[in-house]
Amino acid sequence: MDFKDNTEEAAFRSEVREFLKTELPERFKDGALAETGMYRGAFEQLKDWRQKLAAKGWIAPAWPKEYGGASLTVMQQFIMNEEFAENRVPPVGGMGVSMVGPTLITHGTEGQKKEHLSRILSGEVQWCQGFSEPGSGSDLASLQTRAVKDGDDYVINGQKIWTSGAQFAHWMFMMARTDPDAPKHKGISYFLLDMKSPGVEVRPLTNLANQNMFSEVFFSDVRVPAKNIVGELNRGWYVGTTTLDFERSSIGSAVGIQLQLDSLIRYAKEHEGKGSSRTGYLASVKGELADRYIEANVARLMSYRVVTMQAKGMIPNHEASMTKLYASELSQRIARTGIKVLGLYGQLFGEGAPMRGRYESSYMTSLSATIAGGTSEIQRNIIAQRGLGMPRD
C-alpha cells in the first residue's frame, strides 16, 4: 500500500480541493444537511450544487463520459470521495447513481439506458432497492416475491421490506422469482418498476429513533412490462450481484466516523468537569475515547487497503467484508462512548441539544448497522470461507 499520491493523483486532489473551496455553498459546510439524509426537502436545497457537479461529470464520476459521467479512475474516485467526505459534502446521487445506474450501464439495453440514465443524473427520479423480504434478508436468494408472465407483461405479487426511501422513490430496482422450479439462485429476474404502478402499496416503517427511513412495500397483481427486465430472464441474481459490487472501499463511512469522533473529542475537552456532565470524564471514558480514535484510524487504513487492491485490478472480497464488519461495529461503539461522554445530555434530541442531539439518535440507529448491507454473521462467514479457507458450516 502506497500512502502517497503520485503526480497525477496529487494534481487531481488539488483540483477537488480547489473546487470545494470555491464552489461548495457555505450552508453545507457544517455538515448539517449531510447528517439529515437525502429525502424530504433536500432536492431543492441541492439544486444549484447538483448543477455544478453535473458540469464536471462528478455526480456520477465512475460512469463513462458518454453517459454523463467523468470516467474517473478508481484512485480518482477514491480521492474525490475522500475529499468530499472530509468536507461533509451532502450526497446527491443516491441509489440511482451508485447502484442501478452502473448496473444499467453494464447489463441494460440501449432503451433502458436512454430512458433512465439522464433522469438519474438530473435528480428528477429517485430510486429505491427492492431486495430484502420478511423471510429473505441474509439469505437473499430465498426470496419469494413472484413475477408471472402474462402477454407483454409480468404480474408481480409479494412483499419487500427495509426498503430505504421507498416512500419518496419514483422507481424501484428489484428482484423477483420468475422460475419457482429452478435452483434458488437461477430462477430470479431483475426488474425496473414504476412505483406509481397500480397495486403498489408503500407503508413507511418507524425506527427506534422515530424516523421513517425505510418502508415495507406490497405488490398486488402489479404489471411490469417485460422490457423492464435487466439482463437475461432468470439470471437476475447475477445482475443483482453487480449492483452490490460498487463502492466497496467505504471511505466515506471511514472518514465520517473519524469526523464524528473528532467532534466528540472536542466536545469532551471543552466541557470537561463542567456541571452535571462531570461524571462523563472519568478516566475510563478518556480511555474509551483513545480506543475509538485508534479504531477510527484502523477503519480508514482498511479502506485504503481495499482501494489499493481495486487500483491494481484485483477484486476485494473478504477484504471488503472485513472493512464493512469493522466499520459497522465501530459505529456502535462510538455511539455508546458518545452517550457516556455527554452523560444525561445524551438523552436530548434536536437542534438545541448538545451536538444537535446526535448521540440520542445515533445510539438507536446504529443498532441496525450490523444488519443493513449484510449482517455481521454473513460478513464473518465470508471472511472465514474466502479469507481463511475454512469450510462451510
pLDDT in tens, 311-324: 888 888 899 999 99
- Residue 194 to residues 127, 173, 198, 264, 298: CA-CA distances in angstroms? 10, 9, 9, 43, 42
- Residue 361 to residues 129, 328, 336, 356, 357: CA-CA distances in angstroms? 24, 16, 11, 10, 7
Domain ranges of the chain: 7-92, 127-235, 251-387
Q: What letter would DSSP give residue 133?
A: B
Interatomic CA distance for residues 184 and 345, integer angstroms? 50
Residue 208 confidence (pLDDT) above 60:
yes
Residue 272: predicted pLDDT:
73
Interatomic CA distance for residues 14 and 256, integer angstroms? 21
* Helical (H) or strand (E) element with 269: helix 251-270
Architecture of the domain made up of 251-387: Up-down Bundle (1.20)
pLDDT tens-digit series, residues 355-365: 888 899 889 98
Q: Can you give the length of the chain in residues? A: 393
Q: What letter would DSSP give residue 385?
A: I
Residue 68: predicted pLDDT:
93
Contact indicator for 173, 101 with CB cutoff of 8 Å: no
Same-fold call for 7-92 versus 127-235: no
Residue 35 confidence (pLDDT) above 80:
no
**What number is the average pLDDT over the span 203-220?**
91
Contact indicator for 173, 242 with CB cutoff of 8 Å: no
Contact indicator for 186, 237 with CB cutoff of 8 Å: yes
Residue 252: predicted pLDDT:
84
How much of the chain exceeds pLDDT 70, in percent?
Answer: 92
* Helical (H) or strand (E) element with 338: helix 318-342
Residue 26 confidence (pLDDT) above 90:
no
Residue 212: predicted pLDDT:
86
Interatomic CA distance for residues 204 and 226, integer angstroms? 28
**What number is the average pLDDT over the span 184-204?**
96
Residue 125: predicted pLDDT:
93
Residue 43 confidence (pLDDT) above 60:
no
Residue 213: predicted pLDDT:
87
pLDDT band at 40 (very low <50, low <70, confident <90, very high): very low
DSSP 52-93: HHHHHT-SSTTS-GGGTS----HHHHHHHHHHHHHTTPPP--
pLDDT band at 277 (very low <50, low <70, confident <90, very high): very low
pLDDT band at 2 (very low <50, low <70, confident <90, very high): confident
SS3 332: helix
SS3 336: helix
Beta strand residue intervals within the chain, DSSP E = 127-130, 146-150, 153-164, 171-177, 188-194, 200-205, 214-225, 229-230
Return mean pLDDT, the chain: 89
Interatomic CA distance for residues 181 and 234, integer angstroms? 11
What count of other Cβ atoms lies within 10 Å of the Cβ of residue 151? Answer: 9
Interatomic CA distance for residues 331 and 361, integer angstroms? 12
Contact indicator for 278, 344 with CB cutoff of 8 Å: no
Among residues 82, 83, 133, 247, the one annotated as catalytic is: 247
Contact indicator for 100, 243 with CB cutoff of 8 Å: yes
Interatomic CA distance for residues 319 and 106, integer angstroms? 24
What count of other Cβ atoms lies within 10 Å of the Cβ of residue 333? Answer: 14
Q: What is the pTM of this model?
A: 0.87
Residue 332 confidence (pLDDT) above 50:
yes
Question: Alpha helix locations (H) across 154-276?
Answer: 236-243, 251-270
Cell triple for 152: 407483454
Interatomic CA distance for residues 139 and 378, integer angstroms? 9
Domain 127-235 grouped into CATH 3.40.50.1100? no
Pairing state of beta strands 214-225 and 153-164?
antiparallel
Residue 280: predicted pLDDT:
44
pLDDT tens-digit series, residues 89-141: 988 888 999 899 999 999 999 999 999 999 999 988 999 999 999 989 878 89
pLDDT band at 38 (very low <50, low <70, confident <90, very high): very low
Residue 66: predicted pLDDT:
94
Contact indicator for 234, 240 with CB cutoff of 8 Å: no
Interatomic CA distance for residues 89 and 24, integer angstroms? 8
Architecture of the domain made up of 7-92: Orthogonal Bundle (1.10)
Is residue 247 among the annotated active site residues? yes
For cell 503520485, name the residue: 6
